[in-house]
Amino acid sequence: MTGRTRPFAAHERMIAWRYLRARRAEGGVAAMTWISLIGITLAVFALIATLAVRSGFRAEFVDTILGANAHVTVYSTVYVTAAGTTTRAIRDYAEVAQRLRAVPGVTRAAPLVKGQVMASHRGRNAGVEVFGIAPDDLRSIPRVGEGADGFGDLAAFGRGIAIGSGVARELGVTVGDTIRLISPDGVRTAFGTSPRVSAYEVVWIFTAGRWDIDRTRLYLPFDEAQRFFNREGAADEIEVMVRDPERVNALAPALVAAMGEGRALLWTWRDSAGGFLRALDVEDNVMFVILSILVLIATMNIVSGLIMLVKNKGRDIGILRSMGLTEGAVLRIFFLCGATIGILGTAAGVALGCAFAIWIDPIFALVDAVAGGGVWDPRVRGLYALPAQLRLADVLSAVALSLSLSFLVTVFPARRAARMNPVEALRHE
């Protein structure tokens, strides 16, 4: 071993592996090795699981927004009618919708009539938000129309209504039942406005995936909604869907021009959900920092274990140095000891974290069953289940963080071992 050898040679790896397999008499070192290994495994597992749930929650939240809501809502500015009243109603909605559809990147533009009413069925009542929409436009809504999670006869929408599954559950209705819609702003008479009450058959029940949508939303045929809300010949807004929702702001000038300069107001999905998305971004960054500290704490156990190992192997280090082993070789031996613990712990943590993300549904079902149910309340969280999305970038960031910290903290006790004076190490032997 007096000759010059390449770094991390076979004899260095062999010595490091023998040191990791501590004898029974060195139980303290063995215990610290296992503590370091388990700590890194759990820290990496927690980091990957949190990143997967974070990515899944964001993706599911955005998908439900884009799948059941307009990417851009186009309103009219306030103007004065011939009768001297102010309004935002869009009278030329058909022409405006056609011009909006012609904008490059727009996939659909649908006139809407909206209002809030009370729905009633056999003594059970629920407040709902009514969307008046044409049958063809309803069928093209991803999480509501064709291909959505629903049941009934969507082709019969022209003679009935479509309601969310939460509304159906609240009222106790199913396809074929009739519900009444009650609006306080109804029929106009010489003595004032009287409530309007109309009955409609339920022909389609959908589940959009968000509790607040399924619990409050009801779709009514566009012509019937115009009559029900006294919007004859007008629409309240134009619902626009685009090909790339992430670049919706880039389409804003073209949409304003299509609507007409000075008469268009735009409200994008980023405007409606921007605060929540920004809160998610802040939470993502904070959680990553906190869990990174957890990984750092776990890797610090490697330092404790290596310091104990260096102390116990002082005689061995002295003998190896007297036989001609260089300082660099000693450093690499103890670096391999710590790095091996980091690599094995990281690999185990990655396996556990990926398994958790892949099988999160049965795991969560088991936790919910053990807790007696009610662990996840969709009324509070908006989603029906805890989502998880395993992304390669998240896994690689967790692996890079764990390995870099493991390698970094290993250097200090390894340098201490390399600088140990062989004479001092063997003096008391």
Q: What average pLDDT does the segment 41-55 reach? A: 89
Beta-sheet pairing, 217-221 with 124-133: parallel
- DSSP symbols for 255-309: HHHHH-TTSEEEEEHHHHHHHHHHHHHHHHHHHHHHHHHHHHHHHHHHHHHHHHH
Q: How many CB atoms lie within 10 A of CB 307?
A: 16
CA neighbor of 36 nearest in space, from 298, 248, 315, 392? 298
Tell whether the model's pLDDT for residue 411 goes beyond 60: yes
CA neighbor of 73 nearest in space, from 226, 214, 276, 241? 241
Least confident of 31-45, 201-215, 298-312: 298-312
Tell whether the model's pLDDT for residue 348 goes beyond 90: yes
Residues in CB range of 168: below 8 A, 6 or more apart: 174, 202, 205
Tell whether the model's pLDDT for residue 308 goes beyond 90: no
**pLDDT > 70 in the chain, percent:** 79
Rounded-to-integer distance, Cα 150 and Cα 164, Å: 9
Q: 368 versus 145: which is more confidently predicted?
A: 145
User: What's the pLDDT score for residue 321?
Assistant: 61
Q: What average pLDDT does the segment 136-153 reach? A: 88
**pLDDT > 90 in the chain, percent:** 32
pLDDT band at 7 (very low <50, low <70, confident <90, very high): low
Q: What average pLDDT does the segment 8-31 reach? A: 62
Rounded-to-integer distance, Cα 14 and Cα 425, Å: 22
Least confident of 134-148, 170-184, 290-304: 290-304
Q: 160 versus 324: which is more confidently predicted?
A: 160
CA neighbor of 121 nearest in space, from 156, 89, 169, 188? 169
CA neighbor of 164 nearest in space, from 115, 216, 200, 127? 216
CA neighbor of 141 nearest in space, from 201, 212, 191, 68? 68
Least confident of 28-42, 145-159, 264-278: 28-42
Residues in CB range of 327: below 8 A, 6 or more apart: 321, 418, 419
Rounded-to-integer distance, Cα 167 and Cα 158, Å: 20
Tell whether the model's pLDDT for residue 54 goes beyond 70: yes
User: What's the pLDDT score for residue 312?
Assistant: 65
**pTM as predicted:** 0.69
pLDDT band at 25 (very low <50, low <70, confident <90, very high): very low
DSSP 168: H
Q: Where are the beta strands (DSSP E) in 122-152?
A: 124-133, 149-152
Q: How far is CA 274 from the centre of its chain?
A: 14
Q: What average pLDDT does the segment 269-294 reach? A: 83
| Tokens read off for 152 | 């009934």
User: What's the pLDDT score for residue 1?
Assistant: 45
Q: What ranges in 124-171 are assigned the alpha helix state H?
A: 135-139, 165-171
Is the distance from CB of 260 to CB of 137 less than 8 angstroms?
no
User: What's the pLDDT score for residue 280?
Assistant: 78
Taking only the tens place, the pLDDT of each residue in 215-239 is: 999 999 999 999 999 888 899 999 9
pLDDT band at 97 (very low <50, low <70, confident <90, very high): very high
Rounded-to-integer distance, Cα 208 and Cα 215, Å: 10
CA neighbor of 127 nearest in space, from 119, 138, 137? 119
User: What's the pLDDT score for residue 2?
Assistant: 46
In the block, residue with structure tokens 């710590």: 338
CA neighbor of 101 nearest in space, from 312, 279, 242, 245? 242
| Bridge partner list, 79 | 87
Q: What average pLDDT does the segment 247-268 reach? A: 86
Q: Is 372 left (phi over 0), alpha (psi -120 to 50) or beta?
A: left
User: Average pLDDT over the chain, rounded to whole?
Assistant: 82
